[in-house]
Amino acid sequence: MNKEKKGLRSSRMMIYLMMILLAAMTVVPFIWMLSSSLKLSKDVFTFPMQWVPEEPRFQNYSDIWTRIPLGKFIFNTAKLSVIVTLLQFFTSSFAAYAFAKLRFKGRNFLFMAYIATIAVPWQAYMVPQFIMMRQFGLNNSHMSIICLQAFSAFGVFLMRQFYQSIPDELCEAARIDGLSEFGIWLRIMLPNSKPAISTLVIFTFVNTWNDFLGPMIYLTKTELKTIQIGLRMFITQYSSEYGLIMAASVVALIPVLVIFLSLQKYFIQGVASSGIKG
């Protein structure tokens, strides 16, 4: 008995040790980033590392705003992320309601069409999509990114799966009480699907915020760029300004970090329950 306890304790020690190691592996790059962002470029690579800079150079954080239009980039990204998330939420939850709770001709066929395209990689049709957007005169406009991101089949699928778990009797009762279909969606479906909504909203927002390839293809004018491609532009232009690059990277990370820390429960639940695509 005693021996077993000892074994348990030592295996627990092992787990703690490995946990610390893994946490370090994840966290150290971020700490290095933060520490370097407060250094002169020439001091970033001194060895042994100086984790806490002797004279933290906060000036890096004010310089980046004048080197690149960082404020504009953040505004653009925030604008796009909010619009895409709202559109995605409204259009998918509307469509999902019809697919889950209404009977009409062509329902199964349409839903199959949605499902079938979930599996198609965007990269397979990005070229014709670009050609079309250019025809519409949408390249080099934020509208292109909105159109690209706001109508995903995945959102419809996610919401529909959740709506199906809400009993039909609830809707029937509401119909008898004289509620319109829109009223049922608003008063019954929405309040009962908070987990699915939070998953959809969080992931749409973060995916749009972090999207790289879409904005890279569509937004070539500096004043239209999002934070990701703006940061990328900065890195290629000033590749040896290590301190400034790190400061700009920290700024690009902060919004997602704040959202993640405040809503982490939903992030993890969302992945665990549906395996959100990346």
Partner 1 sequence: MMVPNSVVFEPKPRRKKRLSKNVRDAIVAYSFIAPNLIGFAVFTLVPLIFALVLSFLKWDGANPMEFVGLANFSRLLTDKTFHRALCNTILYTAGVVPFTMVCALGLAIMLNQKVLGRNLSRTISFFPYVASLVAVAAVWNFLFSPTKGPINLMLNALTGIPIEELPRWAADKNWAMFTVILFSVWKNMGYYMVIYLAGLQGVNQELYEAASLDGANSWQKFWNVTLPQLAPTTFFVSMILIINSFKVYDVFITMFAGGDNQLSDTTRVLVYQIYNTAFRALDFGYASAMAMVLFLLVLGITIIQFRSEKKFVA
Range 174-233, binding partner 1 (CB under 8 A): 180-182, 185, 206, 209-210, 212-213, 216-217, 227-229, 231-232
Using CA atoms, how far residue 129 sits from 22, 40, 80, 147, in Å, is 41, 44, 19, 10
Rounded least distance, CB 15 to partner 1, Å = 6
Window 244 to 273, contacts with partner 1 (CB under 8 A) = 245-246, 249-250, 252-253, 256-257, 260-261, 264, 267-268, 271-273
Rounded least distance, CB 133 to partner 1, Å = 8
Window 90 to 129, contacts with partner 1 (CB under 8 A) = 90-92, 94-95, 97-99, 102-105, 107, 110, 113-114, 117, 119-129
Rank residues 5 and 105 by Cβ distance to partner 1 and give the closer one.
Answer: 105
Rank residues 83 and 170 by Cβ distance to partner 1 and give the closer one.
Answer: 83
173 lies in the binding site for partner 1 (CB under 8 A): no
Window 60 to 89, contacts with partner 1 (CB under 8 A) = 86-87
Distance CA(263)–CA(248), nearest Å, equals: 24
Q: Which two tokens stand for residue 160?
A: 């529909």
**Count of CB atoms situated within 10 Å of the CB of 46:** 10
Rounded least distance, CB 206 to partner 1, Å = 5
Distance CA(278)–CA(94), nearest Å, equals: 24
Q: Which of 1, 2, 5, 26 binds partner 1 (CB under 8 A)?
A: 26
Rounded least distance, CB 57 to partner 1, Å = 17
Give the DSSP H or E segment for 267.
helix 242-274
Rounded least distance, CB 169 to partner 1, Å = 19
Residue 150 DSSP SS3: coil
Rank residues 121 and 191 by Cβ distance to partner 1 and give the closer one.
Answer: 121
Helices (H), the chain: 2-36, 59-67, 70-101, 107-118, 122-135, 142-149, 153-164, 168-176, 181-184, 190-192, 194-210, 213-218, 227-237, 242-274
Contact 225, 272 (CB under 8 A): no
Pick the stretch among 39-47, 57-65, 67-75, 166-174 that binds partner 1 (CB under 8 A): 39-47
**Residue in 95, 117, 96, 90 with CA at minimum distance from that of residue 162:** 96
